[in-house]
Structure 1
Amino acid sequence: MSKVRIGLVGIGSMGTAHAQYLIANEVEGAELTAVCEQSEERLQMFAEEFGSSVACYNSYEAMLDSGLVDGVLIATPHYFHPEQAIKALNKNLHVLIEKPGGVYTKQVREMNEAAAKAGKVFSIMFNQRTNPLYCKLKELISSGELGEVRRMNWIITDWYRSQSYYDSSGWRATWANEGGGVLINQAAHQLDLWQWATGLMPTRIRAFCSFGKHRNIEVENEVTAYAEYENGATGVFVTSVCESPGTNRFEVTGDRGKIVIEDGKMTFSRLRVLESEFNSTFKGGFGQPECWKFEVPVVGKNPQHKGITQNWVDAINKGTPLIASGEEGIKGLMLSNAMLLSTWTDNWVDLPIDEDLFYKKLQENIRNSRSTKNPLESRTLNVSGTH
């Protein structure tokens, strides 16, 4: 079996982390053969740290045409993920992109169409899908152990970010360069897990986003959203970057009880009979189903980013099913786009969203952004790593 030759696009903090485990040969069946970065300073630092075994490019097209790579791992600013992925797919190369898939679903949909046409292995870095806690939750729900899902409540407010974090780089927390705040940067993982683990997407969302609350930034940094589902279930999603101490509590209620994930543990309050069955047969007035509360044993390693990269390589080499297919990146992004659009229009938003309306509203925010550069109108691909 020949090794998959990987070209890394963007060597910021996240890109460098990918490079380190690849160069250390911690992904079986893969080797890092090239990197691409616009910053000459970063390229020089990379060459000094990792030697001359990896080819360095400041032109993305030149790397794609080099014949040195079989696939690319894209770790650049959010706006450029779809455009760079499409270019690689059109060159008959495999693609692994960092989250999020992009900034707006219309852009990501075009990327998904290109991936379907190319027929290459296309994955996204949803590394939280390797967490045994969420894998177990998905298993319990999909197997019917929890019964029909009725209510979900996720409070994820431990993404604390100080003002100094935002001040560290001019691209952070601007509509023109990042395309959003907590929903697209920090909580993108939870938005993906919310729909992936439960297997449900809402039919409509009403959200309330605060922009620059307690921080001198222009994007959303506190969100409360309410979702409704076709089966009658409801969901509440709360996230923030300006609370300390924060909370990370995911609660899912079903016909057979309730599962809570918090503090790295899973607790199952399991009813001996389905609530719907108890309700239809119980004649005693006041009363509830018998309930057993216990901690669910969760075993297994959490390989995170390296695990997703290994899975992508295995999919190329062995046909292993993907943990996170790139096409699925549109689902969590649809949720975040819906939350922003609901706030901007001060109304309910049906899913799938009106993609043209979202794009129009996003453009309005970009024109008013503190950054004067509009990446959506740029003809030059940005290959500088920023994650």
Structure 2
Amino acid sequence: MDKVRIGIVGVGNMGSSHAGYLHEGGVRGGELAAICDSNPARLEWARQKFGDSVKLFDSVEALLTSGTIDAVLIATPHYDHPRTAIQAFEHGLHVLVEKPAGVYTKQVREMNEAWAKTDRKFGIMYNQRTNPIYQKLREMIASGELGEVRRTNWIITNWYRSQSYYDSGGWRATWEGEGGGVLLNQDPHQLDLWQWTVGMMPVRVRAFCQFGKYRKIEVEDDVTAYVEYENGATGLFVTTTGEAPGTNRFEVTGDRGKIVIEDGKLTFWRLRVPEPEFNSTFTGGFGAPECWKCEVPVKDDNDSQHKKITQNFVDHILKGTPLLAPGEEGIKGLTLSNAMHLSSWTDNWVDLPIDEELYYSNLQERIANSTMNKKSGGKTLSVEGTH
């Protein structure tokens, strides 16, 4: 095989973007071979945009059995991600799925198990993993430069969204249509990076979610979550779509200093002597380890992060290049958002791994008791439910 024929399922906001750079030859060894969408208007858009060079399908089954593709890029609403991926694996196709991996971990675990039974390649569109600043943070922590992690704090409150944004789609901001709010729509990248960069998942979570605090919606638009790690470290995650101006500050403290990512810069406050060593030898009444403020250089990178993930996925198929964002890892960030929901719903601590059946039953209860007069977009392939 010298090229990967890719079929995109769903050409809404993100699907159409993926189709664009693929059709323009932006991915070496990758070819836009087909598009699938249940919305006739989106298929007509694709016909006018790409002409006869791209095959069009109005059903997933027709696409998967067509013989025209080697891989699918799934850009449908959240609930459909695992279902479509499982179908693709059953037809012997490689899968690249948009984030989030799904709505609840039970369905994502089933997707991972379906993939594990095959020899197909599986990736997820965690494009922020290509961001040099987060790669540098991960490298510094993994190398021991920061020492043992003691605390993580991420304030990500610059996801401002107006009421008109939520009113723009019938699937938005409903338990049935999206399966969540800011945690599932805006924050999947940050939740993934939170665990990916520090190299560990929490062992328990206590969260306080506000549902429809700032907007007329039924899902969460304001969240404060506290987590604890196995090594004794603690963490805080604060997010909302209702504040302006917002903040995006990620801070990780270790026994050798502190790293902060904010305003596109990575700053390392490096202790000359590790804190435990200083503490064991210092005899004065007041004092602290000598600290050097270091602006860590991070290479500029203006290339499309989404395109980079797709390129890496194609290279993985053709050359065996290691995946930057393996699909099975999508369950990690989703576990964090599910745990935050469940903690708030039950007004209690949630241990990880979460009780998947308890989460699912609570979610179904909220869907059944919804008072929103919106129609679910869960079966519409044309809208990718993010951003």
Structure 2: stretches of 5+ with no match in the other structure? none
Number of the residue aligned with 1:360: 361
Match of 1:215 in 2: 215
Residue 382 of structure 2 aligns with which residue? 384
> Within the alignment, does 1:274 sit opposite 2:265 as a pair?
no
The CA distance in 1 between the partners of 2:255 and 2:299, in whole Å, is 26
Give the conservation status (yes or no) of the 8 Å contact 1:366–1:374. Answer: no
Taking the aligned partners of 1:345 and 1:160, their CA distance within structure 2 comes to 27
The question of 1:14 aligning with 2:14 is answered yes
For 2:254 and 2:281, the matched residues in 1 are separated by 18
Distance 1:188 1:350 in 2: 20
Conserved 8 A contact 2:92-2:120: yes
Alignment match, 2:125: 125
Contact 2:205/2:343 (<8 A) preserved: yes
Structure 1 residues 165 and 382 mapped into 2: Cα distance closer, same or farther (>3 Å)?
closer
| Residue 174 of structure 1 pairs with residue 174 of structure 2 | yes
Determine if the alignment matches structure 1 residue 188 to structure 2 residue 188: yes
Instruction: Give, in angstroms, the shift of residue 26 of structure 1.
Output: 0.4
RMSD over aligned CA atoms reads 1.2
CA distance in 2 between counterparts of 1:374 and 1:15 reads 19
1:253 alignment partner in structure 2: 253
Partners of 2:235 and 2:193 in 1: CA distance:
13
Specify the code of the residue in structure 2 equivalent to 1:239.
T
- Give yes or no for contact 1:174–1:371 (8 Å, CA) kept in 2: no
What SS does structure 2 have at the residue aligned with 1:208? Answer: strand
The aligned counterpart of 1:263 is 263
Are positions 1:72 and 2:68 aligned together?
no
Tell me, in whole angstroms, the C-alpha distance in 1 between the residues paired with 2:131 and 2:238. Answer: 21
Q: By how many angstroms is 1:282 displaced?
A: 1.2
Counterpart residue type for residue 259 of structure 1: I
- Cα shift at 1:349: 0.4
**Within 1, Cα distance between the matches of 2:226 and 2:186?**
19
Report the 3-state secondary structure (helix = DSSP H, G, I; strand = E; otherwise coil) of the residue aligned with 1:78: coil
Query: In structure 1, what is the equivalent of residue 54 of structure 2?
Result: 54
> Are 1:346 and 2:344 counterparts?
no
Q: Deviations over 1:47-82 (max 9, x none)?
A: 012211100000110110000000000000000100
Flag the 1:114–1:172 CA change in 2: closer, same or farther, 3 A: same
Q: TM-score, normalised by structure 2?
A: 0.97
1:154 aligns with 2:154: yes
For the residue of structure 1 that corresponds to 2:182, the secondary structure is: coil
Name the aligned partner's letter for residue 152 of structure 2: M
- Partner of 1:307, secondary structure, is helix
Partner of 1:325: 326
**TM-superposed deviation, 1:298:** 0.5
Give the secondary structure class of the aligned counterpart of 1:166: helix
Verify the 8 A CA contact 1:36 1:59 in the aligned structure 2.
yes
Deviations 1:19-59 (A, max 9, x none): 00000000000100000000011101110122111000001
Q: CA deviation digits over 1:341-363, x for unaligned, max 9?
A: 00000000000000000000000
Return the letter of the residue paired with 2:291.
C
In 2, distance between residues paired with 1:122 and 1:373?
Answer: 31
How far does the alpha carbon of each residue in 1:366-387 deviate from its partner, in whole angstroms, 9 at most, with x for none?
Answer: 11222576788xxxx6423334
Alpha-carbon distance between aligned partners in 2 of 1:371 and 1:3, rounded to the nearest angstrom: 46
CA distance, structure 2, for counterparts of residue 215 and residue 251 of structure 1 = 29
**8 Å contact kept, 2:170–2:375:** no
SS at match of 1:338: helix
CA–CA distance in 1 between the matches of 2:255 and 2:94? 42
- Report the Cα distance in structure 1 between the residues aligned to 2:16 and 2:369, rounded to whole angstroms: 33
Q: Does residue 225 of the first structure (1) align with residue 218 of the second (2)? A: no
Deviations 1:319-356 (A, max 9, x none): 00001000000000000000000000000000000000
In the other structure, the counterpart of 2:336 is 335
2:191–2:336 contact (8 Å) kept in structure 1: yes
**1:286 CA drift (Å):** 1.1
Cα distance between partner residues in 2 of 1:350 and 1:367: 26
* Aligned partners of 2:228 and 2:235 also within 8 Å: yes
| Residue type of the alignment partner of 1:14 | M
Which residue identity lines up with residue 256 of structure 1 in the other structure?
Answer: R
Tell me the equivalent position of 2:234.
Answer: 234
For 1:322 and 1:341, the matched residues in 2 are separated by: 31
Q: Which deviates further from its counterpart, 27-36 or 284-293?
A: 284-293
Code of the aligned partner of 2:190 = Q
* Corresponding position of 1:89: 89
Equivalent in the alignment of 2:204: 204
Within-5 A mapping of 1:270-309: 270-301=270-301, 303-309=304-310
Aligned residues: 383
What is the Cα deviation at residue 245 of structure 1?
Answer: 0.4
- Give me the TM-score of the superposition, normalised by structure 1: 0.97
